[in-house]
Amino acid sequence: MAVDYIALWNEQHEAANRQKQVWNGGKSFWEDPENVRRFVDRMINSDRSRIENQLAAMQIPAGSTVLDIGAGPGTLAVPLALAGCDVTVVEPSAGMRAALKEYREMVGAPTIREIPSRWEDADPAEVGQHDVVVASFSLALDDIALSLKKIDAAARRSVHLFWFLTLPTWTRANISLWPELHGNEFAAEPTADLLWNCLCQLGIYPDITVEHVEKGQHYLTVEEAVFDYCRRLYVQDDRQREIVTSFVHEGIARTEAGFAIPKASKTAHIRWEK
């Protein structure tokens, strides 16, 4: 019997989403202004080589119309607009859209059209068609078959998807510590190997490039790292805080920019031409 990769994706994503909903009180992680602020700070202050590598890998020419799904604070959308592309973003988080506007104005980028919606809920007529569709680390999508078909239909020329091929550092920490902290297993989002197979199941046969990532999450101080891990792991009492503090102190290392918990990981650039 053939493997139903689409069903596997949906099962894993739904389990991860249920767990997030329980611990976030039914709210999205990105509805919390503190989570948005920390994400934006890291984007501005961290090593930007990953962003530059993504832009170089896509090779989107000036004058192209680009749709950026889950654009966040404009990580790719703003540089693409500066490079002469006509950019539209689909971004559900009001905090992220405010950060995108601030970033765009700070660097003098042209106006970026915004659709304030989850991709799953976006009206195809409002989205329209674009030369290139991009989704960078924003692929925790419901009903993956419908979401991917919608992505493909929105592209005239090409699609570029970036996603985790192996679990990122913070997710591996969650898997390691979650049972001791909360008494059950951590439900991680599905990874890029499954995403690639979902596309093949839909009759889309994309290219894939793998990037090896040596850098872990960076922090200015050890205390900031402890705070971040406690927040991500929903620490609620002193016993849990001691477990997380011990984990951070054992794994953290000094870097030129401060501190990091180094863990090698891999990401994938999945792309196809229309």
CA-to-CA dists, residue 190 to 46, 68, 158, 256, angstroms: 26, 21, 23, 33
The model's confidence at residue 210, banded by pLDDT at 50, 70 and 90, is: very high
Cβ proximity of 233 and 244 under 8 Å:
yes
| CB-based contacts of 215, cutoff 8 Å, min separation 6 | 47, 260, 262
Structural domain boundaries, residue 151: 5-166+184-216+264-273
How far is the C-alpha of 232 from the C-alpha of 174, rounded, in Å?
8
In a domain, 43, yes or no: yes
How far is the C-alpha of 192 from the C-alpha of 189, rounded, in Å?
10
Question: Hey, CA dihedral for 107, 110, 116, 117, is it positive or negative?
Answer: negative
Which percentage of the chain shows pLDDT scores above 70?
A: 92
CA-to-CA dists, residue 28 to 36, 80, 88, 153, 271, angstroms: 11, 27, 22, 27, 28
How many domains does the chain divide into? Answer: 1
In a domain, 25, yes or no: yes
Mean pLDDT of 80-101: 95
In a domain, 224, yes or no: no
In a domain, 235, yes or no: no
Phi, psi of 127 (to 5 degrees): -65, -45
pLDDT of residue 100: 93
pLDDT over 60 at 123, yes or no: yes
How far is the C-alpha of 65 from the C-alpha of 6, rounded, in Å?
29
In a domain, 72, yes or no: yes
CATH number of the domain encompassing residue 157: 3.40.50.150
Kindly report which listed range (14-23, 115-124, 186-195, 234-243) carries the lowest average pLDDT score.
14-23
For all residues of the chain together, what is the average pLDDT?
A: 91
Helix, strand, coil percentages in the chain from 3-state DSSP, rounded to 5: 50, 20, 30
Give the residue from 210, 95, 202, 220 showing the smallest Cα distance to 151. 202
Dump pLDDT digits (tens) for 14-47.
999 999 888 877 666 666 777 667 676 666 666 5
pLDDT of residue 50: 85
Cβ proximity of 132 and 67 under 8 Å:
yes
Query: What's the pTM?
Result: 0.90
In a domain, 230, yes or no: no
In a domain, 158, yes or no: yes
In a domain, 225, yes or no: no
